[in-house]
Amino acid sequence: MPQAGEHAGEHGGAAPLVLLVEDDPQDALIVRELLEDSGLAVRLEWARSVKQARQALARLRPQCVLLDLDLPDAYEFSALSAVLEEAGDAAVVVLTGLAEEQAGLAAVTAGAQDYLVKGRVEAEWLGRALRYAMQRKQAEQAAVALHAERVRAKENARLERGLLPTPLLETMPIQVASRYQASRGSLTLGGDFFDVVESDDKVVHAVIGDVCGHGPDEAALGVCLRIAWRALVLSGMEGGALLRQLQRILDAERSSSEIFVTMSTLVLEPDRRTVRLWRAGHPGMLVHTPEGISLAEPAQGPALGLPFESEWEQHVMELPPGGGLTLFTDGLFERRLPGERARWLGEEGLLELARRRAHLDGQSFIDALVEDVETAAPETAADDLAVVHLRWKDEL
């Protein structure tokens, strides 16, 4: 059958493509003439069998399929099943004989958008049926997308509560500010996590970590490790012993032996000066003093999950009056800068940006720093990021 004219669509674009799957040339000609008289501008392609329909669907990606259920290479609803499998975003309208109206109803139940009975179809009716079928298909797809987005949002909320908990502080006057940001390439939270708790001896413990990879599995593992860290800290464990237990939990919970976790865990003593910390393959931290901001990179041990015996040494540092710490994951600085030469922001670039905001504190500092990073390296954030700022309140 010759292709129908290249009419403009109702909104000025290309007319929708309709694939007619019909083995009878006379019936195909009738459909073409009805479409020409319907007032609906379409481009028409013809396939004579299920096999040809599959090939045409893969090649043409039509907006609508007009399908005769009684094809020589089909049995009962096998033609509909085959077309629905390949149709993608296309609406499907089935054609039945005068004595097969119940088959049309069953086809709609099985996934078709509508059915028409041969011999009872008028031109205007055919055009209206195809138009409504395509609109109905779009509405169905929008509803599915909305449902998926709602499910994803609920999943994100559950994961966020696990990854980004409320700090467990009772008496110690420490300021905690934080920010989490998912990667632009994913609508699901990743495996970055942090926590801050106060133990019975008035010591404040903090952790920040990053599960390699992206997606809900990594986020769930991050939640598991964060909860385990809190439980172990509240039971009195810290430092290397704490990291060894988290290593055991990681080995048991991870889905692949290739998954590893970087982490920094630290202790802020009640004297509000002394900080003890252990690094497991994690980036350094920003140290805030009245004189400005510097980058601290104490000695570290390997990330959790690597295939060899691990030891993590304690590092002790002193915070001056008015001092603070900003912990972060690598999503904050592993960003490619724009330009012809391939350059990365890196920790030194992050430090330069942070120093411009040294006059700010707490949430204002974090938000300004993240915005500066986004401005310096736009459209390149492939990783999640987590940032935590800690400072004693009476030192402000």
- Is residue 177 assigned to a domain? yes
Residue 27, domain CATH: 3.40.50.2300
Residue 329, domain CATH: 3.60.40.10
Residues 6 or more apart from 232 whose CB is under 8 A from it? 242, 245, 246
What is 206-251 written as a DSSP string? EEEEEESS-SHHHHHHHHHHHHHHHHHHHTT--HHHHHHHHHHHHH
Instruction: Tell which of 106, 140, 174 closes a domain.
Output: 140
Question: Which of 18, 17, 1, 28 shows the shortest CA–CA distance to 118?
Answer: 28
- Is residue 209 assigned to a domain? yes
| 314 shares its domain with 385 | yes
Strands 274-280 and 315-318, sheet pairing: antiparallel
| 238 shares its domain with 195 | yes
Strand, coil or helix: 269:
coil
| 261 shares its domain with 364 | yes
- Is residue 5 assigned to a domain? no
- Is residue 6 assigned to a domain? no
Would you say 363 and 177 are in contact if contact means Cβ atoms under 8 Å apart?
yes
| 176 shares its domain with 60 | no
How many structural domains are present in the chain? 2
Residue 99's domain comprises 17-140
| 124 shares its domain with 237 | no
| 173 shares its domain with 71 | no
Would you say 277 and 298 are in contact if contact means Cβ atoms under 8 Å apart?
yes
Strand, coil or helix: 157:
helix
Would you say 73 and 49 are in contact if contact means Cβ atoms under 8 Å apart?
yes
| 218 shares its domain with 279 | yes
Instruction: Tell which of 140, 156, 172 closes a domain.
Output: 140
| 49 shares its domain with 174 | no
Instruction: Tell which of 140, 173, 197 closes a domain.
Output: 140
| 48 shares its domain with 178 | no
- Give strand pairing partners of 289: 292
- Is residue 10 assigned to a domain? no
| 384 shares its domain with 259 | yes
- Is residue 106 assigned to a domain? yes
Range list of β-strands (E), 86-240: 91-96, 114-117, 174-181, 192-198, 204-211
151-187 burial code (b ≥16 CB/10 A, e <16): eeeebbeebeebbbbebeeeeeebbbbbbbbbbeeee
| 189 shares its domain with 331 | yes
Q: What is d(CA 162, CA 226) in angstroms, rounded to the nearest whole number?
A: 8
| 258 shares its domain with 361 | yes
- Is residue 125 assigned to a domain? yes
- Is residue 117 assigned to a domain? yes
- CA-to-CA separations, 286 to 196, 296, 321, 347, 357, in angstroms, rounded: 17, 6, 16, 10, 12
Q: What is d(CA 294, CA 87) in angstroms, rounded to the nearest whole number?
A: 58
What is the residue-level pLDDT of the chain in tens, covering all 396 positions? 544 444 444 444 578 899 999 998 998 898 888 888 888 888 999 999 989 988 998 898 999 998 888 888 877 788 888 888 888 889 999 888 756 778 888 888 888 888 888 878 888 888 888 888 888 888 887 777 776 666 666 655 555 555 567 889 988 899 999 998 876 555 556 789 999 999 999 999 999 999 998 777 888 898 899 999 999 999 999 999 999 999 999 999 998 889 999 999 999 999 999 999 999 999 999 999 999 999 999 989 999 999 887 789 999 999 988 899 999 999 999 988 887 666 889 999 999 999 999 999 899 999 999 999 999 887 655 578 899 999 988 644
